[in-house]
Amino acid sequence: MSGGGGLLVAGTTSDAGKSVVTAGICRWLARKGLRVAPFKAQNMSLNSYVTLDGAEIGRAQAMQAAAARTEPSALMNPVLLKPGSDRTSQVVLLGRPVGEMSAQGYFGRHTGTSQGVRFGRREELLETVAGCLEELRRTHDAVVCEGAGSPAEINLRRSDIVNMGLARACRLPVVVVGDIDRGGVFASLFGTTALLAPEDQELVAGYLVNKFRGDVTLLEPGLEMLRGLTGRPTLGVLPFRHGLGIDEEDGLRVSLRGAVRESSVAAPHGADVLRVAVLAVPLMSNFTDVDALAAEPGVVVRFCDRPEELADADLVVVPGTRGTVRALEWLRERGLAGAVARRAAEGRPVLGICGGYQLLGEQIEDEVESRAGLVDGLGLLPVRVRFAHGKTLARPHGTALGEPVEGYEIHHGVADVHGGEGFLSSAGGEELDGCRVGSVWGTHWHGSLESDGFRRAFLRRVAADAGRAFEPAPDTRFAALREEQLDRLGDLIEEHADTAALLRLVEDGVPEGPLPFVPPGAPQ
């Protein structure tokens, strides 16, 4: 393949740290003056983002693009799968939704078209993603690719376009990341290699150990033994660091109930703290919206799924979801719908974002997502929602509460607001988004809380309604905090990885000479 260099970061498991390692390598290379781009051929996530030209990609790839100091594009994540249930996902191809599909259909026999591009059979998808990677390599010095799950998922190897399937098709060297915090890292790294076909093993150039705690000299004998067993070096031992899991791919694999969003929870600027309860609704999407709240000194953000957990909350956030009707049912089954309604009646703050905004309304007409027809919402806002087959993908900006604000929209639901006050005003003031009645607020705009002035103004209103002597710190800059986190990722690579070896792989590709075969290899 012509153009710039490339590297694939694979992992022994999901959540091994591929996303943050990829971002760290991107930031390290960008600081060296290279033109870098991230790439993930196929991503399964409910956390997504909208590019400047209106394409939807995984939020992790947008974060990695920021690490690379480049603008995100659909080329960086050509296939995005957004789960709608345990068995089906919406397929987003080159930034545009092309339909719902079962896992069996996606990984088996399926065909379709999107803007002239066929998708379905593995060969056609691989041609599409390889073309995107080729374009990125043509315009950049280096492309750092991220795998998905594990490359040793032998049941999916025939249909693989994101791990060894991509690496073999595009002749990419592969570094495998193992999470030592889970335990069993040596077995995981060895076993991952040993379950690959000989042609795939030839591309595995080394390992990275992630999330290590303690004295690295105690680990070194095991690393040497692993090299003796596999013929491959460990290219770094990355220490465990709190707060590096920014813009995760999804929250489906872990229960967030009771989890406090990663933040320093610094001392409040005013006299009181502010407690935020985020409802951990099914198919929760873009829960990264609350990261900006967690970054505020004195704001404690907690995910909840029980009515009693809302009692001491100053603000309840109903986040986005890929299953609005399902989330409504869940809220009612757990008694949370009544708890939220009682808060509203008492004048205590509630904020709904995207799907959360929709379910705060009076009615939802859904023949698209759940096909449930006409469903009663919680009735807290004078809004009726109709699900359209087309998806709104936009990057709006404007003003709210007297402050500039910007965000991004990803939704099928179209809101008909017939009362209350408008919440966010687009640039020029021609259009209003969202609705407010008393202390209940709703908007379709993701990311609006990242606008510092608006976030502070909103939190002042919340504190006043909640009766808290809380005052937002005047100097919190969310974008600057994000940059600090990305620099920490770059430092992690620069200080604890064999950067000379990584640079050789990026620039020169797969090492010359066959690497040792580790039996037994992939089953035939």
Residue 354 falls in the annotated catalytic set: yes
| Rounded CA separation 324/368 (Å) | 11
- Report which DSSP code applies to 4: S
Task: Give 121: exposed, middle or buried? Use CB within 10 Å, 0-12, 13-18, 19+.
Answer: middle
Question: 282: how many CB neighbours lie within 10 A of its CB?
Answer: 15
| Rounded CA separation 6/393 (Å) | 30
User: If you search the block for the tokens 């051929």, which residue do you land on?
Assistant: 41
| Rounded CA separation 478/483 (Å) | 9
| Rounded CA separation 162/147 (Å) | 5
Beta strands 36-39 and 174-179 are unpaired
List 354, 435, 444, 496, catalytic entry: 354
CB of 358 closer than 8 Å to CB of 330: no
CB of 321 closer than 8 Å to CB of 357: no
Dihedral sign for Cα 358, 362, 365, 370, please: positive
CB of 336 closer than 8 Å to CB of 352: no
| Rounded CA separation 497/489 (Å) | 12
List 140, 411, 444, 446, catalytic entry: 446
DSSP conformation letters of 76-96:
G-SEEEEESSSSEEEEEETTE
Widest distance between CA atoms in the chain: 72
Residues linked to residue 301 through DSSP beta bridges, in sequence order: 276
| Rounded CA separation 259/256 (Å) | 5
CB of 281 closer than 8 Å to CB of 356: yes
Residues linked to residue 303 through DSSP beta bridges, in sequence order: 278
| Rounded CA separation 181/149 (Å) | 17
Residue 446 falls in the annotated catalytic set: yes
| Rounded CA separation 100/321 (Å) | 16
Active site residues: 354, 446
